[in-house]
Amino acid sequence: MREIDLDELRSELEDFAEPEKKGGRPPREERVIAGFEEIQRFVEKHGRAPQHGEDRDIFERLYAVRLDRLRALAECRSLLAPLDHQGLLSGVEISVADAPTTVDNDELLAELKEAAGPDSITELRHVRKSADKRAAEEIANRAVCEEFETFKPLFEQVQRELKSGVRKTLPVHNMEEIKLTEIQKGEYFIVGGQIAYVADVGEDFTTQYDRRDSRLRVIYDNGTESNLLIRSFQRSLYRDEAGRLITNPATGPLFADQRADDDLASGTIYVLRSKSEHPVVVANRNLLHKIGVTGGKVETRITNAYLDPTFLMADVEVIATYELYNISRIKLENLIHRVFDPAQLDIEIKDRFGNPVKPREWFLVPLFVVNEAVERIKDGTIIQYVYDPKAARLVKTAS
């Protein structure tokens, strides 16, 4: 039996969870405890209580403000005392006369927001009171994105394109549901008041309930990131009344086969056939194709192919080319390879130095299917399809 993925199990059972039983803790107390446990996890990791200071991480500064507030609230001290095995509540002397006897959650949230400052990466925007607990849980599962400087220009560009009208936002609640096929690498959404960028999509797997799922790496415009299941992300979008899909400026034809006057050439899709005498290649000569994208001349790209393990250490012949305009070559190539991934050639050859190499971009796909894929790229429907090697045709993916 395979190891149980707790995140996966939680996502499967979430919709069927029983309502909270009467007699349990009020939601207000649950939120206070959850906030205190976050501070405790910080202490366990760093070996000290969170501290104030401009030189401190923004999360540490928030935790420090929160801890001060919890220490000052008599109701909170009473509630948390049995859980305080680290002695956090007694860390400073409390002036009981000045401390309120009840906790106001909105007041506490307001103080945390003010302490973070206007440019805080944890600034809360468009957050509804009814979603405070869910938002806190989502943030707790995020981490600081160490590579955020790499992604920051992408968010700035999206903001500019939204202002200029190049991109638009579509309310998720006006749709039947965001389909899994619409949650692709490179797409943008708004969830929890923040722009979310799907930086990576892991390999598909089937849950124990025979449902398709995969892992996402999602970067948020506040400098955090999360690693979650695609169905969990889908569910969070649908449950967020303010959730929105940000349209892709390339929606519609991804590229044209005719160049317009104001178009700039972006590159060429090429399909190659190998002249290698490798037994596997010989046995599948008419079915095996290399599919790639280049920004230069195809003839230049294949020069000295017999010296390059990428080309199976053999000369190649050009079977088909498709010129494209105004599109990211990298994104297009990734899209093509995703579609034909089930038919990728699994072969190992030796380079000219005797080192083993596993070439990529070679697929056991008939040329007529490649032609169909290109047509679907043009009309924008390719994201709904994947190649089925057994049927030797493109088939629609499950939504």
13 — pLDDT class (breaks 50, 70, 90): low
Give CA separation, 123 vs 144, 226, 331, in Å.
14, 17, 31
**What per-residue confidence (pLDDT) applies to 100?**
39
**What per-residue confidence (pLDDT) applies to 176?**
47
The runs of H, that is alpha helices, within the chain are: 6-13, 27-46, 58-72, 74-80, 105-116, 132-140, 148-164, 230-239, 279-283, 298-301, 329-340, 367-379
248 or 297: which leads in pLDDT: 297
The beta strands (E) that lie in 212-294 are given as: 212-213, 215-220, 224-229, 244-246, 265-274, 288-294
- What average pLDDT does this structure show over 321-345? 80
pLDDT tens per residue across span 213-255: 888 999 999 999 998 888 888 888 878 888 888 887 654 444 4
Query: Do β-strands 393-396 and 188-191 pair in parallel, antiparallel, or remain unpaired?
Result: unpaired
Domain boundaries of the chain, sorted by first residue: 26-123, 144-246, 265-396
Q: Is the pTM of this model over 0.75?
A: no
* 124 vs 15: CA distance, rounded Å: 26
**What per-residue confidence (pLDDT) applies to 195?**
93
Listed as own residue / partner, the contacts of 352-359 with beta carbons closer than 8 Å and 24 or more positions apart are 352/307, 352/313, 357/309, 359/309, 359/310, 359/311, 359/312
Instruction: Tell whether the model's pLDDT for residue 118 goes beyond 50.
Output: no
